[in-house]
Chain A
């Protein structure tokens, strides 16, 4: 397989996953803006949404008024924002188009029709009443893409580059959501019955579509240590760092077997996996959640660079 093809597949998957994550974050931000009594109002919450989505903050500098409508438009439709849903869907399709022959018809159609439909949407048609519908649609399309990948692609090299892209992006996103809110997740700030804290924790879980499954796993009220455990260490939680890392390791092993390459990236992935498997929540909090997540994020970035080098992405 061409190095460029591998790169296109990896980034195609990352962009689709990113579009889904940004949609989910927008959804959470939208809910918060409709909820009264949340601290200093929507300014602060949109700030964390933008930070978690990894978007350049056009609002802090005062270039745009941070109204809900403006921020939503920026997150969804603004082509100048490289992480907007629109930009991600276009980039995903562009990458897919470049490697059309490495995709099945189903995967290509999922990408292509998503992009065509999205580009026909008019931003002004999605006021508060219609926004959820749109965000749901984006998540559905991403799920359609994943389903097409899982159901129709040969388990060859290309599949594993797609998997790796998906889980690198997803774990990166989960780590960033946690990092943006790390202050409210420190166990010392979370005392029982803290209504405001409860609300924040639920928000975090929602950002990872984990608020329902949390209850099944912990059968308890939200507690910061459980929230962290769930999103960082639980191997059965499909957006946890641990889950993502397991999948990355699995795909890296398959890529190494298929190509005989990938030594640098595979050993980085193994190291990160080992750290996660040996971590305990109380020790993470002792060392510092922010420090732990920062290290994880920089490891993920280093891994992506090593992957590009190992497999001749350019």
Chain B
């Protein structure tokens, strides 16, 4: 018996807890889980944890750590206690996400055509046209279905009962969906009794829906059944497992650039039977590496001329090249504007408050409150070039202030977020840990949000960093049906 001693609410925590109210009673969605936790012993949990780790290792669900030897491929820690979202909460999130991804696709269509939003003065021209993530080569092209971002991961954080915020939109090559699927498999294997006691919305149709989405994006000239492949940078990519997993689950080939050739104005893969025409490429490769003829000439990973074929309507690239402009950190601050411009509605999901250092007033505020804010480089990723105000020294603060003054357009700032907590199985027992949520969205002939998504959890006590490279783990994420 471990739960009640460790996992209680003292009503003092400044963080929203997913399971317990401040008075210590469970939220309705967690009522059964709390009972179940009370019935588990530390030893039985530990045994299940070991079983889960063995499952993941055996499946080869590992991620490569850059710079480490191959032996150091790691299994991302999996936490046994599910994160639960009630039916009502999910309906709200689903509506908000759908609104947002529709608006972002409309934005992409617009900026690669007439740029009405720029003409209307709602976003500065330079923010779009001079942005490194904007591809002028995409101008004037109508992708199939006018969809640019087909596969999207929306990073959400929760700070209160109704306080869901979008931290980031991932419209390039979001990863993590394989963990969502495997986490569910593992949980059903380990704790079938929990599924009997809950109505959990299934996630396992994702690969089939992904395949349907890709098929629906076939080039107009393809009249039969389109041939699909997943394009991977190769085994050394940190998400290689996921690339192989998705190809396998969809029943399509996993190809590398060197497997593909262009002949007579079409794309082929080299098979044991000769060459086979490809119609849709789900690429897990960044724009810059896709095509050395059109983009980075030193890329050995892509296919020369692929982009030309795409523009000529001979093959569909998913997600479309140039979608990165819509998840650029500088553009992020304009997303509420983007949502209302294209939908005529008020955004359902809010952004995290963001200060743009390019704007005088906002920069002034940032420089005043630097020790309270998180400052990010607009084109940076993975935490590089970031300042976490509350953890910075005086010298770091003043150095960073200089950098902001020298190149204000390169920075945005956000308040440090009070991520919600969720019970997790830790060495000291069941204890609250901070979590975020990445639901996965497919955009084809309609928008489909897979119920749940990937919950990432900071396994270190007090830590707000959920990234797997920093010791973060994952949880199965349940959406309860009414």
Interface residues of A (CB under 8 A from B): 1-6, 90, 94, 97-98, 100-101, 105, 108-109, 112, 116, 119-120, 157, 255, 259-261, 311-312, 314
Contacts and interface: CB of A to CB of B under 8 A. Distances in A.
A312 B244 contact: no
B270 A2 contact: yes
A108 B60 contact: yes
A101 B254 contact: yes
Interface stretch (B92-100, B168-176, B255-263): B255-263
21 contacts: A2-B253, A2-B269, A2-B270, A2-B271, A3-B270, A3-B271, A3-B272, A4-B256, A4-B270, A5-B253, A90-B70, A94-B235, A97-B240, A100-B244, A101-B244, A105-B59, A108-B60, A112-B60, A259-B273, A261-B273, A312-B272
B462 interface: no
Contacts of B247: 101
B270 A312 contact: yes
Contacts of A105: 58-59
Contacts of B116: none
B359 interface: no
Contact of B259 (A3, A90, A116, A259): A3
Given A2-B270, A100-B60, A314 B235 contact: no
Listed residue (A101, A116, A312) with the most chain B CB atoms within 10 angstroms of its CB? A101
Given A259-B273, A312-B270, A4 B258 contact: yes
B269 to A, nearest CB: 6
Interface residues of B, number: 25
Nearest to A111: B60
Contact of B271 (A1, A98, A100): A1
A98 B255 CA distance: 10
B255 A314 contact: no
Interface string B33-59: 000000000000000000000000011
Contacts of B256: 4
Interface in B204-250: 234-235, 240-241, 244-245, 247-248
B71 A119 contact: yes
Nearest to B252: A101
Nearest to A260: B273
Contacts of A157: 272
Interface of B: 58-60, 70-71, 234-235, 240-241, 244-245, 247-248, 253-256, 258-259, 269-274
Contacts, number: 57
Contact of A2 (B234, B245, B259): B259
B258 A1 contact: no
A82 B230 CA distance: 32
B60 A98 contact: no
A3 B274 CA distance: 8
B272 A6 contact: yes
Nearest to B248: A101
Nearest to A112: B60
A5 B255 CA distance: 9
A98 B241 CA distance: 10
A255 B258 CA distance: 23
Given A2-B270, A4-B256, A260-B273, 11 more contacts: A2-B253, A3-B259, A3-B270, A3-B272, A94-B235, A97-B60, A98-B235, A108-B60, A119-B71, A261-B274, A311-B272
The 7 closest A-B CB pairs, nearest first, are: A101-B248, A311-B272, A3-B270, A100-B244, A312-B270, A259-B273, A6-B272
Contacts of B244: 100-101
Nearest to B273: A259
A108 B254 CA distance: 17
A261 B247 CA distance: 25
A49 to B, nearest CB: 28
Nearest to B254: A101
Contacts of A255: 272
A311 B59 CA distance: 30
A97 B255 CA distance: 13
A259 B273 CA distance: 6
A260 B273 CA distance: 7
A269 B259 CA distance: 27
A4 B259 contact: yes
Contact of B255 (A2, A109, A120, A259): A2
B271 A312 contact: yes
Nearest to A94: B235
Nearest to B62: A112
Nearest to B276: A2
A216 to B, nearest CB: 39
Contacts of B272: 1-3, 6, 157, 255, 259, 261, 311-312
Contacts of A1: 271-272
Contacts of A2: 253, 255, 259, 269-272
Nearest to B240: A97
Contacts of B71: 116, 119-120
A235 to B, nearest CB: 29
A137 to B, nearest CB: 18
B58 A109 contact: yes
A177 B105 CA distance: 65
A101 B70 CA distance: 19
Contacts of A90: 70
A259 B272 CA distance: 7
Contacts of B273: 259-261
Contacts of A4: 256, 258-259, 270
Contacts of A260: 273
A109 B54 CA distance: 12
Contacts of B70: 90
Contacts of B270: 2-4, 312
A44 to B, nearest CB: 37
Contacts of B235: 94, 97-98
Nearest to A93: B70
Contacts of A116: 71
Contacts of A5: 253
B257 to A, nearest CB: 11
A108 B57 CA distance: 11
Contacts of B60: 97, 100, 108, 112
B234 to A, nearest CB: 8
A256 B472 CA distance: 50
Contacts of A311: 272
A107 to B, nearest CB: 12
Nearest to A98: B235
Contacts of A97: 60, 235, 240
Contacts of A120: 71
A120 B59 CA distance: 20
A35 to B, nearest CB: 37
Contacts of A259: 272-273
A105 B70 CA distance: 20
